[in-house]
Amino acid sequence: MFIDTHAHLDYVLQNVQEDQTITDLDFLFTDQLESIVHISLNPDRFLRDYPILSKHKNIYFATGFYPNNANIPNFNEDQKIEELKKVLTDYKHVALGEIGIDFKDDSYGTPMAQQSLFEKQLALAEELNLPVVIHSRMSFNECYHSLSKYKTSAILHCFSYGIKEAELILNRGDYISFAGLLTYKKSLEIQEVAQMIPLDRILFETDSPYLSPVPLRHKSNLPSYVQHTYQFFAKLRNIPVEELSLIVKDNFQKAFKI
């Protein structure tokens, strides 16, 4: 059985028929998919989607302010953090996220604004004893510096760095989550990490509807496609997929305190 630890089901459901999204979510759980962690990019999106997604017992929830919220005009951080705290305490969540820092382009806000929003959410996660799901693109040093100030445990989502960065995360006792990027021909650094990482620190995800794995690249991603990333990793490490699935299930339960 497979687990997708990071999916944006609100975007996935935009690609299916309306009656399917409202009355039946079982179509998401094909090809031995057991569980999904749905990631909401802000509390308003969570509240909008919860009535639909909460109908399925194997969908878990994480909510946080995505980095680009730092670029919203008149974004009142303190007020927004209180709104996030209310959602996280009023509804069952397994993590706070995804949160972090992104230097892809200017649309995410200034480094200072992103860092401020990130650290306030790290403090909230520490207060609520929730793990955090980290979004880090072209910003590892900055994310790691902020994360190191707090005791909250972390899942580094869609890992896209090398061995040096992986070792820093592993030394904290945190988890590394591999997305479809792992299966791409040019992802040699990520594949090197996959070859050395202890098996008790790995998770897998789709980040659906984005980053479809080989052999489904360029198609809209679905949570069930996570099986291809499992299979790629299992072949890389020369272990049976069935054994890997049991290990990852145990990691999933520990990382998200389930």
Domains of the chain: 2-255 (3.20.20.140)
Amino acid residing at 237: R
Return the H-helix or E-strand segment holding 136: strand 132-137
Cα separation, 191 vs 173, whole angstroms: 20
For residues 159-174, one letter each, b for 16 or more C-beta atoms within 10 angstroms of the residue's C-beta and e for the rest, the string is bbbeeebbebbbeeeb
pLDDT of 27 reads: 86
- Any idea what DSSP says for residue 100? E
Cα separation, 227 vs 28, whole angstroms: 13
pLDDT of 21 reads: 46
CB atoms closer than 10 angstroms to residue 72: 13
CA-to-CA dists, residue 71 to 67, 83, 136, 179, angstroms: 8, 18, 16, 26
pLDDT of 237 reads: 98
CA-to-CA dists, residue 141 to 120, 138, 163, 168, 206, angstroms: 18, 9, 14, 10, 24
Cα separation, 18 vs 182, whole angstroms: 32
Assess contact for 211 and 158: CB atoms under 8 A: yes
- Any idea what DSSP says for residue 38? E
Cis status of the peptide bond prior to 98, with omega within 30 of 0: yes
pLDDT digits (tens), the chain, 258 positions: 999 999 999 999 887 755 454 457 888 998 799 999 999 999 999 999 999 999 999 999 999 999 999 999 999 999 999 999 999 999 999 999 999 999 998 889 999 999 999 999 999 999 999 999 999 999 999 999 999 999 999 999 999 999 999 999 999 999 999 999 999 999 999 999 999 999 999 999 999 999 999 999 989 999 999 999 999 999 999 999 999 999 999 999 999 999
Q: Which of 48, 135, 145, 142 is CA-nearest to residue 99?
A: 135
Cα separation, 107 vs 94, whole angstroms: 29
